[in-house]
Structure 1
Amino acid sequence: MTLDPRTAARLDHRLATAQREGRLPSVTAGLVRGGRLVWSGAVGSLDGRAGGEVADDDTQYRMGSITKTFVGVCVLRLRDAGRLDLADRFEDHVPGSALGRVSIEQLLSHAGGTQAETDGPWWERTPGGDWAELAAAPAGQRFRAGRRFHYSNVGYGALGRLLEVHHGVGWADVVRTELLEPLGMTRTTTRPSGRAAQGLAVHPFADVLLPEPEHDAGAMAPAGQLWSTVRDLGRWAAFLGGDTAGLLSADTLAEMCEPHHVVDEPGQPWTGAHGLGWQVWNVEGKRFAGHGGSMPGFLAGLRVALDGGDGVVTLTNTTATTVMRSLGDDLLATLGEEPAPVEPWVASGDPALLELAGTWHWGPSVTTARFTGEHLVLGEPGTGRGSRFARVGDGVDTWVGLDGYYTGEPLRVVRRADGSVAHLDLASFRYTRTPYDPEGDVPGGVDDLGWR
């Protein structure tokens, strides 16, 4: 797909405006649609000075907490391989720390109640120690585990150690071999490599710069160590949009993007939540997932629309600014105004399913069963108890709910002795072709005198 030149010009102008208004030394951004980078732009120089080396989409920036999404995916891969359960306590796998009684799921979703930062010096600006040092430090419980969302960088240091214990190598080696190399993300590293931006702070009251330190965060590195480029993070956005290259199942990716704990800000509506490694947002009914990132000298953002897969990545080398969040939203909105390619309709349905389509009755209420792609749709998903159902196995008689009230619930096709469909059994509710069909084995029976 090639963007309309007018759309690309608007995107370039928005990026340039953000760089100037936000006083960003440099900024790069990219948009993903259909699983590939369809636009990228860069403004500014790597050292923030006139005549300096200019940024581009292959310039590395520190991604900060977007690192956590890579750690989270690797943990879920362990779960899918049967090597752990998300309900396991951390100490079941990594004994000897104050985090022991917190579950793996709670660490992934920041619901363990664990303190946000380390007890030592500001870990983001000072070299970090090893796991033994981190584990020996007391980890304060700010809240009862499972009670609420409380962001914890310490918790992701622990999850990095979990990966090391299971794989026998460093957490970064796990991420590299399991994700980065298979996805072709060759410019994502734990320390700056090749063309990389200098981390900078911009004075709040003058146009002068201060270099920020760069270091190895040690055991805290899984919370925010990785460096990357727009090109590489564009591939990661495509991964989140569903192009996982077989490295993660669609069901597991969807599970990671479910809102496990809302981010509750007093006096504010709930628009954000946290899944398993991914942040989740609900913006006027539209669901997004991704993550933000910040380290001294750098800010980063990744956001993908879960319905459709359009995504945006942003990277800049400044410590603080107010323009980056709105920049990502604006770029994504501009992409949304560009019509996406429309795949032509073709007849691809299974005639064997026609015996299930049409009108059904749950008691006196009327609903319709239809087929959309591979799904049986009963009613209107998002309205009442409407839901989509996916086929279980190779036959046509067993289905499982995908939406709302019936998520995970079974739907069975019950047949008569001659093989014809008698009724549908949906989580014990009976759906019959006519209201309270006495031949539909309606629980409680049907009055012998019938309707009157």
Structure 2
Amino acid sequence: MASYDDLLHAEHAQSRSASVAAAVVRDGVLEWSGAVGTTDGRDGPEATASTQYRIGSITKTFVAVEVMRLRDEGRLDLADPIGRHLPEVPFGHVTIAQLLSHTSGLEAETHGPWWERTPGGDWSALIASGPRLVHTPGTRFHYSNVGFGVLGRLVEVLRMTSWFDAIRDGILDPLGLTGITEHPTADAATGLSHHPLDDRLLVEPHHDAGAMAPAGQLWAGAEDLVRWAAFAAGDTGSVLSSSTWSEMVVPLAVDDRPGVPWATAQGLGWRVWPGTVAGRQVGHGGSMPGFLATLQAEPESGTGVVVLVNDTLRIGDLASALLDAARPAKRPATPAFDPAPDVARLVGDWFWGPVPFRLEPTADGFHLSDANANRRSRFVRDGDGWRGLDTYYAGERLVVRPDGALDLASFVLAREPYDPAVEHPGGLDPRGWH
């Protein structure tokens, strides 16, 4: 298999981008980083893995995480209509969850000059421009940059500071991401557009986007941003609980394209790609005039990659190639552990009526799966019982009854098929199995 450096140089040659920077993380540890080309596309400084590029809409993932942190603190509910916190918006019935998942129906862009290439106005100016709904909320996926301008304002109001200061204090500093900034440093790469027919370049302007900054303002180097790819793989540190991260990456809205099988879905701020050889991928792309960015992670394999270019034209398939190269041939075996005594008593075969189930211990609870694995769910402790984390039983309660049977959302599981020693809803035919 080609080395990381070989893949990087092949992408640079094929894409004709001024420069390409990339990095790979595995199990939370930086495995490789590199860069090729010059920051201005000519004879300027050589790009490095710490050179800053504008990361565009990857910015949205930081804003989304800060919204979820506010939710976990009890400052908001995802079902809250946004008008409860921002009464000045003309679409106050839209929920916070809909804004995070791009199902609010809010229009994609602002009214007025192209916001990505012109100085941005403040929040009052954004509201005065008349942002409107173009779809009924909750009925379809429709990507909205404006929606994340609104979420950035929500963060500002609840944190009583700027959106950037909020994510710096709550996310960037705790994760050591001091190289991610709101504005470019002096040695940042120059944003360039490449003529599609020849090698001419055009320098793109960049400005403070004002109220739209939460949709795409941040700047980062590959080595800093790859820590965020580790976050997307589940290494959330002290910033976010694992349960909240799992909640954010549930595919909620399919990005449907007629005639094409769905290729990506939207979670709460994160993009989710369907099955690969190592399970789903989580991440986001970014595009601003003069820059393209990709962040992808595979939680199951523990790997993540970042690719940054200062070119508007194309970014190629380097991210996928790096993931293929980084993916371990086989994940290490799960370390042995002794299940808790109350879990150990539950391990083994169970039956929902005649349907076989299998209960297997995990480090923090257990898996419960039917014979066909159609209803395989993880369970963790929840008061005097257990709570499902995913698939069919997500959020549902399981308790152990006094007679030893399991009550799972009104379904009774016994050690034998329709065990006559266990009371089943509806009773049992007195003839029993015959």
TM-score by length of 2: 0.95
Greater displacement, 294-303 / 308-317? 308-317
User: 2:414 aligned with 1:414, yes or no?
Assistant: no
Q: 1:28·1:57 contact (CA, 8 Å) conserved in 2?
A: yes
Kindly state the Cα deviation for residue 190 of structure 1 after the two structures are TM-superposed. 1.1
Which of these residues, 138, 146, 153, is aligned with residue 154 of structure 1?
Answer: 146
User: 2:351 aligned with 1:361, yes or no?
Assistant: yes
SS at the partner of 1:300? strand
User: 2:425 aligned with 1:425, yes or no?
Assistant: no
User: 2:312 aligned with 1:329, yes or no?
Assistant: no
Give the equivalent residue in structure 2 for 1:435.
417
Kindly state the Cα deviation for residue 269 of structure 1 after the two structures are TM-superposed. 0.8
Any gaps of 5 or more consecutive residues in structure 2?
none
User: 2:109 aligned with 1:136, yes or no?
Assistant: no
Give the equivalent residue in structure 1 for 2:388.
401
Q: 1:381·1:403 contact (CA, 8 Å) conserved in 2?
A: no
Give the equivalent residue in structure 1 for 2:14.
21
Kindly state the Cα deviation for residue 382 of structure 1 after the two structures are TM-superposed. 7.3
Give the equivalent residue in structure 2 for 1:373.
363
Paired residues, number: 433
Given the superposition, is the C-alpha separation of residues 102 and 352 from structure 1 closer, same or farther in structure 2, using an over 3 Å criterion? closer
Once the two structures are superposed, the pairs formed by residues 32-431 of structure 1 within 5 Å of their partners are 32-49=25-42, 51-284=43-276, 286-321=279-314, 323-324=315-316, 326-336=317-327, 338-339=328-329, 342=332, 345-379=335-369, 383-393=373-383, 398-416=385-403, 421=404, 423-431=405-413
Alpha-carbon distance in structure 2 between the residues aligned to 1:341 and 1:386: 21
Alpha-carbon distance in structure 1 between the residues aligned to 2:374 and 2:249: 23
Q: 2:184·2:219 contact (CA, 8 Å) conserved in 1?
A: yes
Give the equivalent residue in structure 2 for 1:3.
none
Kindly state the Cα deviation for residue 347 of structure 1 after the two structures are TM-superposed. 4.3
AA aligned opposite 2:114: W
Given the superposition, is the C-alpha separation of residues 169 and 378 from structure 1 closer, same or farther in structure 2, using an over 3 Å criterion? closer
Kindly state the Cα deviation for residue 316 of structure 1 after the two structures are TM-superposed. 0.4
Kindly state the Cα deviation for residue 243 of structure 1 after the two structures are TM-superposed. 2.1
Q: 1:32·1:39 contact (CA, 8 Å) conserved in 2?
A: yes
AA aligned opposite 2:286: G
Q: 2:355·2:370 contact (CA, 8 Å) conserved in 1?
A: no
Given the superposition, is the C-alpha separation of residues 54 and 176 from structure 1 closer, same or farther in structure 2, using an over 3 Å criterion? same
Q: 2:301·2:331 contact (CA, 8 Å) conserved in 1?
A: no
Alpha-carbon distance in structure 2 between the residues aligned to 1:374 and 1:79: 24
TM-score by length of 1: 0.91
SS at the partner of 1:384? coil
AA aligned opposite 1:27: V
Given the superposition, is the C-alpha separation of residues 115 and 344 from structure 1 closer, same or farther in structure 2, using an over 3 Å criterion? closer
Q: 2:9·2:36 contact (CA, 8 Å) conserved in 1?
A: yes
Given the superposition, is the C-alpha separation of residues 302 and 415 from structure 1 closer, same or farther in structure 2, using an over 3 Å criterion? same
Q: Percent identity of the aligned residues?
A: 51
User: 2:431 aligned with 1:449, yes or no?
Assistant: yes
Alpha-carbon distance in structure 2 between the residues aligned to 1:299 and 1:441: 62
Q: 1:385·1:406 contact (CA, 8 Å) conserved in 2?
A: yes
Alpha-carbon distance in structure 2 between the residues aligned to 1:408 and 1:62: 39
SS at the partner of 2:345? helix
Alpha-carbon distance in structure 2 between the residues aligned to 1:400 and 1:203: 56
Alpha-carbon distance in structure 2 between the residues aligned to 1:254 and 1:366: 28
